Amino acid sequence: MIRVADENLPWYEGMTVADLLRDMGETHPYPVVRINTQYVSRPNFTRTVIPDEAVVYLIPMIAGG
Partner 1 sequence: MARFALESIKSFSYDRPEIQKGYAGQTLHVDIANQTFDTRPVDDQMKKIFIGGKGFDLWLLWQAVSPQTQWNDPENAICIASGPLGGTPVYPGSGKSIVTTLSPTTGSPMDSNVGGYFGPYLKFAGFDALEIQGQTDRNLIVYIDGISQQLELLQLDDGPRDAYALTTVLTDHFGQGQPRSISVVSAGPGAEHTLIGCLNFSWYDTKRKRTRFKQAGRGGIGTVFAQKGLRALVVRWGKVTVDTNHPADPETLKKGGKRYSREIAQLDPQQNEMARIGTTHLVSIMSDHDLLPTHNFQFGTHREAANLSQSVYRPIFDPGFDGCWMGCTVACSHGVRDFVPLTGPYKGRKVFVDGPEYETIAGCGSNLGIFDPHTVIEMNFYCDAYGLDTISVGTGIAFVMECFERGLINSTHTGGMEITFGNRLAALALVHQMARGEKFGAIVGQGIRRMKVHLAENCGADPDLMQDIGMEAKGLEFSEYMTKESLAQQGGYGLALKGPQHDEAWLIFLDMVHNLMPTFDQKAEALHWFPMFRTWFGLCGLCKLPWNDIVPPDNKETAEPAKVIKHVQWYAEYFTAVTGRSAAPDDLIAMSEAVYNFQRIFNLRMGFGRREHDCIPYRAIGPVTIEEYESRQERYDSQLQEQYQVDPDGKTTLEKVALLRRFREDRYEQLKDAVYKRRGWTPDGIPTLATVRRLGIDLAPVIAVLEANGIQDDQSR
Q: Which of residues 4-33 bind partner 1 (CB under 8 A)?
A: 5, 28-29, 31-32
CB of 6 to partner 1, least distance (A): 9
42 in contact with partner 1 (CB under 8 A): yes
Q: What is the DSSP string of 25-62?
A: T--S--SEEEETTEEEEGGGGGGPBPPTT-EEEEE---
Q: How many other CB atoms are there within 10 angstroms of residue 30's CB atom?
A: 19
65 in contact with partner 1 (CB under 8 A): yes
Residues that bind partner 1 (CB under 8 A): 5, 28-29, 31-32, 34, 37-39, 41-44, 57, 59-65
